[in-house]
Amino acid sequence: METLSENRCFDGVQGVYRHASGSCGCDMTFGLFLPEEAGDGPVPLLWYLSGLTCTHENAMTKAGAQQWAAEQGIALVFPDTSPRGDNVADDPEYDLGQGAGFYVNATQAPWAPHFRMWDYVAEDLPALLAENFAIDPDRQAITGHSMGGHGALTLAMGLPGRFRSVSAFAPISNPAGSDWGRKQLAAYLGDDETAWARHDASLVMRERGFDGPVLIDTGSADQFIDLLRPEALADAVATRRQPATLRLQNGYDHSYFFVSSFIEDHVAFHAEALWA
């Protein structure tokens, strides 16, 4: 593992690191904020999964989450959204290929050799964090924005017992039923839609739900709301009678101005579960 930078931040450290990923078969970069308390021993960890076109850096510099994580004494990890490099497949469109991993393990050419973001977030990066940093692996929570909200929800429900709480900002809630999802799931997983189901938050919510607190925020003025399909997730929550808080925030759009407006709520929400 290579340290690219470390900066003092709210009495903790905001670092950026690069490592060889066995899951993705290439070098991967991630950001990690460790609060001051990490100097005394392992601290809880909140994952933040970013959306389309993002790297590890977007949320790390725009969300303003470190201040609130420092107040709560929890760490934040900001993974990249896809494998990258000259030998990694890409697509000229912004919503497929590098920057658009969709948190799945691709099975189709040319994506299969590197696009294994489910394994990267579920196995590869957690092992690296536990080995190298003061992280408590038994106290983890997960959140994300847009494509990252989709990933946070599907990983939380798909890995029972891993995460104590899950939240999302404007998640892609029903990718199997949306143009933001059908294209990518077909490209990465093939045309058999049964293989898509475990990566659709609304379908997984109906099937198994989540054994813990759930918080979802979406802006009423989100320019992509028809692609996000929050109503599909709300219907699944109601059908399953899943305890959850789903909020439609009046006048907010899809940007990081929206995320930064409600990140304090989300960090506090997760801290309550992580320190329980």
> What does the CA dihedral 7, 10, 13, 14 come to, rounded to 10 degrees?
-70
CA-wise closest residue to 55 among 84, 20, 87: 84
Q: Are 232 and 202 in contact (CB under 8 A)?
A: yes
- 254 belongs to the catalytic site: yes
CB 180 within 8 Å of CB 172: yes
Residue extents of the structural domains in the chain: 2-274
Pick from 227, 173, 225: which is nearest to 200 by CA?
A: 173
Among residues 56, 150, 254, 270, which one is catalytic? 254
Mean pLDDT for all residues in the chain: 98
Identify whether 222 is a catalytic site residue.
yes
Backbone angle region of 155, left / alpha / beta, with phi > 0 → left and psi within -120 to 50 → alpha = alpha
pLDDT in tens, 130-189: 999 999 999 999 999 999 999 999 999 999 999 999 999 999 999 999 999 999 999 999
Q: Domain 2-274, what fold?
A: Rossmann fold (3.40.50)
- Predicted pLDDT at 206: 97
Would strands 43-49 and 135-144 be described as parallel, antiparallel, or unpaired? parallel
Averaged pLDDT for residues 59-74: 98
> What does the pLDDT look like over 190-229, one tens digit per residue?
999 999 999 999 999 999 999 999 999 999 999 999 999 9
Selected catalytic residue, list 146, 165, 167, 178: 146
Among 124, 222, 266, 270, the active-site one is 222
